[in-house]
């Protein structure tokens, strides 16, 4: 009888332990790549419930927020990922994207300049062009872009 109680307790404990964070993160990444953002968010919430320090989960939540057009929420996730030691290159590009989405070209340029050197990625240059466009004024007489003095 005692063995049955111990076996039953072990089975119940295994069933209540929740999903494996690595597996949930992988499931979230797969759902994100398929465009199933609500499913990805559920998996990422499971990851954060098991590991509140998960940088990858926070970065992916930031990407999902950008897909939903919510730059403020994206910045919150991305800044916390940066504070936890996330990749500065990836986070700076995503933060720049959030600033461009919010119409704040100068802040986007600051994020891009924080990378220290010019990147060769197309994403970097597209974001840089969009940020310069937002940070500039159009000179109708001269048909050229001018950057306002700070």
Give the residue carrying structure tokens 């030691």.
85
Regarding the domain delimited by 19-86, which CATH topology (the fold level of the hierarchy) does it fall under? 1.25.40
Any idea where the domains of the chain sit in the sequence? 19-86, 87-150
Give the distance from CA 102 to its chain's centroid: 15
pLDDT digits (tens, 9 = 90+) for 106-130: 999 999 988 876 667 888 889 988 9
- This model's pTM is above 0.75: yes
pLDDT digits (tens, 9 = 90+) for 10-69: 444 444 556 788 999 999 999 999 999 999 999 999 999 999 999 999 999 999 999 999
Higher-scoring residue by pLDDT: 2, 109:
109
Contact 97, 66 (CB under 8 A): yes
């Amino acid at each position: 009888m005692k063995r049955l109680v111990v076996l039953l307790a072990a089975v119940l404990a295994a069933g209540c332990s929740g999903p494996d964070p690595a597996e949930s993160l992988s499931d979230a990444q797969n759902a994100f790549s398929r465009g199933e953002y609500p499913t990805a968010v559920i998996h990422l919430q499971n990851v954060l419930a098991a590991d509140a320090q998960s940088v990858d989960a926070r970065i992916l939540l930031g990407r999902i927020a950008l897909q939903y057009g919510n730059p403020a929420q994206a910045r919150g996730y991305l800044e916390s990922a940066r504070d936890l030691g996330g990749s500065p290159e990836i986070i700076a590009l995503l933060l720049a994207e959030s600033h461009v989405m919010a119409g704040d070209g100068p802040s986007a340029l600051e994020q891009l300049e924080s990378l220290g050197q010019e990147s060769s990625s197309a994403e970097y240059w597209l974001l840089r062009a969009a940020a310069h466009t937002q940070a500039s004024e159009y000179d109708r007489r001269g048909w050229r872009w001018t950057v306002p003095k700070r």
